[in-house]
Amino acid sequence: MFATLSDRLTSTFKNLRTKGRLSEADIDATVREIRRALLDADVAVPVVRAFTGAVRERALSVEVSGALNPAQQVVKIVNDELVAILGGENRPLRLAKNPPSVIMLAGLQGAGKTTLAGKLALHLREQGHTPLLVAADLQRPNAVTQLQIVGERAGVPVFAPHPGNQGHGEVDPGFGDPVGVAREGLAAAKARQHDVLIVDTAGRLGVDAELMAQAADIRDAVQPDEILFVIDAMIGQDAVATAQAFADGVDFTGVVLSKLDGDARGGAALSVASVTGRPIMYASTGEKLTDFEVFHPDRMASRILDMGDVLTLIEQAEKAFDADQAEAMAGKIASGEDFTLEDFLQQMQAMKNMGSMKKMLGMLPGMGQMREALDNFDEREVDRIEAIIRSMTPAERRTPKIINGSRRARIAAGSGTSPSDVNGLLERFAGAQKMMRQMARSGGMPMPGMGNLPGMGGKKSRGRVAAPPKRKGKAAKSGNPAKRAEQERLAAERAAGIAPPAPKGSAFGLGAKEPESVDPSAVDLGALGKFLGR
């Protein structure tokens, strides 16, 4: 969503890095470009004015003029101000001391409240809570049915005493009372000992008095601990007016951004927290129930500035990868066993559990410069590789060398690919297997282009430059004038028969002495001692 804004800001900072000192004109030009980038991203005008004003004031201060690298200092200032307008820091969900904790969802129709109710319920269930969903949206056609399906997929029960509007026109006001449903749901949560109650409410296509009155009545009936305003991150400038109307009418306590995976300009995310003063707590980043994450302002600012979001990537990896499997794999590599296609398939399945490959790669620092390559990346390539491996026999997965021409043809036919695809996979896997063997021998990753370092095992690198051959006969003269003078003096004495011949193996003609016992602690290491901590 923030691709365009990220590209504009990155380009602006690239121009700054070529300058050793920044003048006031340089800073004004940078602030002007940032202002244009934010306005193009559909950020609210008051937010843009406050943001650029704060950046300019700090950029002209001593912290930039006295910095060793003023361009990096400006980037840091922009990052700090982005974090500030995104809410400053993450605020966790407030839960009641005496369960159940009541969470009410509010927002316009089409913002994604019902799907988000299931995502939030799944998120809380994974944390050890026992949520209950309440279908209080009796207005939108089939909203109750949708919530029941979402709840079933999330493994969370749904309280739905009334079917609501089944698509045959407006529901009879006397047939189902949303306020009564919410009140009954709270009683059911207490009776069934659920510790969290999530109430899905109705929305409208626009803000009106009826919508606000119904939301306020439900709020008064269940006394929620949290009122989360669900806003479509793709609606642009209108997000500010809508958020302000709900803040005045319902007084929500937090914001949830939905559809953050869209291709809109993202102005809502940069505006709503600053305008309403309410924190952004969660973000919905896809259609799957697992495409849901806690919103961290500092991490989002890093993504916008193309500095990556490694912490979120690590958290997702910890969820997806099994600790026992990872430990078993590490032990297998350390013991010298070969990395097999079965292991490769296992790792691929764990990566698929983390979500979209594009999304994961996009969290790495500097990937904004490779956005075109990321956009062209085919997610189905992972499925094709998995199909090829699954078309192999267990023996072929363990020992790929036995795969001959006929086996390749059978594997290609079974996976719906071509023999050349099978060949390409086997070649790439052979490279990965070789790297794993090097890691097993060396106890660590070999440094690119350097072969294995001394003491790390492994074969010698082919590209290593051979040492020059030793000179036979006449000893080489030292480059040190004092040592060279000593060499010449000893050579002259030996030629005149004054000095005895140099013992075999001695240096500079000095006689070899018997080894003496030396106290290691008394040895003066000079500059090397600094690196050894002595």
Asked if residue 452 has pLDDT above 70, the reply is: no
List the CATH number of the domain containing 80.
Answer: 1.20.120.140
Element containing residue 247 per DSSP (H, E): helix 238-249
Regarding predicted confidence, which is higher, 471 or 489? 489
Average pLDDT over residues 428-448: 65
Regarding predicted confidence, which is higher, 338 or 523? 338
Task: Return the residue matching tokens 């019902």.
Answer: 114
Position 107 confidence tier, pLDDT thresholds 50, 70, 90: confident
Q: Is 137 annotated as a binding residue?
A: no
Regarding predicted confidence, which is higher, 314 or 258? 258
- The edge-to-edge listing of strands for the beta sheet with 158-159 is 158-159, 131-135, 196-200, 101-106, 226-232, 254-258, 280-284, 292-294
- Picking from 21, 96, 110, the residue whose alpha carbon sits closest to that of residue 65 is 21
Position 518 confidence tier, pLDDT thresholds 50, 70, 90: very low
List the CATH number of the domain containing 180.
Answer: 3.40.50.300
**Nearest-angstrom CA–CA distance, 193 and 206:** 37
How many distinct structural domains can be found in the chain?
3
Q: Is 164 annotated as a binding residue?
A: no
Last residue of one domain, picked from the residues 274, 305, 336: 305
Cis peptide before 100 (omega within 30 of 0): yes
Position 502 confidence tier, pLDDT thresholds 50, 70, 90: very low
Q: Could you write out the DSSP letters of every residue in 276-345?
A: H-PPEEEEE-SSSTT-EEE--HHHHHHHHTT---HHHHHHHHHHHS-HHHHHHHHHHHHTTPPP-HHHHH
Tokens of 412: 């290609």
Asked if residue 283 has pLDDT above 60, the reply is: yes
Predicted TM-score (pTM) above 0.85: no
424 domain residue, yes or no: yes
3-state secondary structure of 531: helix
- Residue 145 shares a structural domain with residue 277: yes
467 domain residue, yes or no: no
Position 123 confidence tier, pLDDT thresholds 50, 70, 90: very high
What pLDDT is attached to residue 307?
64
Asked if residue 369 has pLDDT above 50, the reply is: yes
- When mean pLDDT is compared over 43-47, 367-371, 456-460, the highest value belongs to 43-47
- Residue 195 shares a structural domain with residue 323: no
482 domain residue, yes or no: no
Average pLDDT over residues 197-207: 83
**Nearest-angstrom CA–CA distance, 461 and 459:** 6
What pLDDT is attached to residue 131?
93
What pLDDT is attached to residue 341?
82
The Cα angle at residue 239 between residues 90 and 375, in degrees rounded to 5: 75
Task: Let me know if 26 is exposed, middle or buried by CB neighbors in 10 A (0-12, 13-18, 19+).
Answer: middle
- Residue 297 shares a structural domain with residue 333: no
Q: Could you write out the DSSP letters of every residue in 460-521?
A: PPTTPPPPPPPPPSSPPPPSSHHHHHHHHHHHHHHHHT-SPPPPTT-STTPPP-------GG
**Nearest-angstrom CA–CA distance, 185 and 432:** 55
What pLDDT is attached to residue 86?
82
Task: Return the residue matching tokens 């890095």.
Answer: 17
List the CATH number of the domain containing 421.
Answer: 1.10.260.30
Asked if residue 421 has pLDDT above 80, the reply is: yes
What pLDDT is attached to residue 294?
87
3-state secondary structure of 232: strand
What pLDDT is attached to residue 530?
40
Q: Is 510 annotated as a binding residue?
A: no
**Nearest-angstrom CA–CA distance, 203 and 515:** 91
Exposed e or buried b per residue across 88-124, where buried means at least 16 C-beta atoms within 10 angstroms of its C-beta: eebbebebeeebbbbbbbbbbeebbbbbbbbbbbbbb
Average pLDDT over residues 265-282: 79
- Residue 57 shares a structural domain with residue 106: no
- Residue 326 shares a structural domain with residue 402: yes
Average pLDDT over residues 287-300: 84
Average pLDDT over residues 49-65: 80
Q: Which stretches of 68-208 are DSSP H helices?
A: 70-85, 113-126, 143-154, 178-192
Asked if residue 469 has pLDDT above 80, the reply is: no
Mean pLDDT, the chain, integer: 74
Average pLDDT over residues 171-176: 52
512 domain residue, yes or no: no
**Nearest-angstrom CA–CA distance, 415 and 391:** 6
- Residue 213 shares a structural domain with residue 160: yes
What pLDDT is attached to residue 8?
76
What pLDDT is attached to residue 467?
44
Asked if residue 296 has pLDDT above 50, the reply is: yes
506 φ, ψ (degrees, to nearest 5): -80, 160
What pLDDT is attached to residue 102?
93
Q: Is 204 annotated as a binding residue?
A: yes
Query: Using an 8 Å Cβ cutoff, are 80 and 61 in contact?
Result: no
Position 472 confidence tier, pLDDT thresholds 50, 70, 90: very low
Position 473 confidence tier, pLDDT thresholds 50, 70, 90: very low
- Picking from 224, 148, 218, 228, the residue whose alpha carbon sits closest to that of residue 180 is 218
368 domain residue, yes or no: yes
Average pLDDT over residues 126-139: 90
- Residue 78 shares a structural domain with residue 126: no
Exposed e or buried b per residue across 454-473, where buried means at least 16 C-beta atoms within 10 angstroms of its C-beta: eeeeeeeeeeeeeeeeeeee
Asked if residue 526 has pLDDT above 70, the reply is: no
Q: Is 107 annotated as a binding residue?
A: yes
Question: Which residues have CB under 8 Å from 225's CB, separation 6+?
Answer: 94, 95, 96, 101, 102, 103
Asked if residue 99 has pLDDT above 80, the reply is: yes
Task: Return the residue matching tokens 């449903």.
Answer: 181
Regarding predicted confidence, which is higher, 444 or 294? 294
Q: Is 259 annotated as a binding residue?
A: yes
- Residue 18 shares a structural domain with residue 124: no
What pLDDT is attached to residue 313?
66
- Residue 128 shares a structural domain with residue 256: yes
474 domain residue, yes or no: no
- Residue 339 shares a structural domain with residue 261: no
Which structural domain, as residue segments, surrounds residue 264?
101-305
What pLDDT is attached to residue 28?
85
Last residue of one domain, picked from the residues 423, 442, 461: 442
- Residue 323 shares a structural domain with residue 404: yes
Average pLDDT over residues 459-468: 41
Position 63 confidence tier, pLDDT thresholds 50, 70, 90: low
Query: Using an 8 Å Cβ cutoff, are 118 and 150 in contact?
Result: yes
Query: Using an 8 Å Cβ cutoff, are 287 and 355 in contact?
Result: no
Q: Is 110 annotated as a binding residue?
A: yes
Q: Is 109 annotated as a binding residue?
A: yes
528 domain residue, yes or no: no
Quick one: angle between helices 419-442 and 380-390, nearest 10? 90
Average pLDDT over residues 173-198: 85
Task: Return the residue matching tokens 């500079």.
Answer: 508
- Distance from the Cα of residue 29 to its chain's centroid: 32
What pLDDT is attached to residue 521?
46
125 domain residue, yes or no: yes
- Picking from 275, 257, 277, the residue whose alpha carbon sits closest to that of residue 266 is 257
Last residue of one domain, picked from the residues 264, 283, 305: 305
Element containing residue 12 per DSSP (H, E): helix 3-16
Position 397 confidence tier, pLDDT thresholds 50, 70, 90: confident
Would strands 280-284 and 292-294 be described as parallel, antiparallel, or unpaired? Answer: antiparallel
Tokens of 491: 């050579």
- Residue 191 shares a structural domain with residue 268: yes
Q: Is 203 annotated as a binding residue?
A: yes
pLDDT in tens, 378-389: 677 778 888 898
Regarding predicted confidence, which is higher, 7 or 518? 7
What pLDDT is attached to residue 456?
35
**Nearest-angstrom CA–CA distance, 134 and 177:** 13
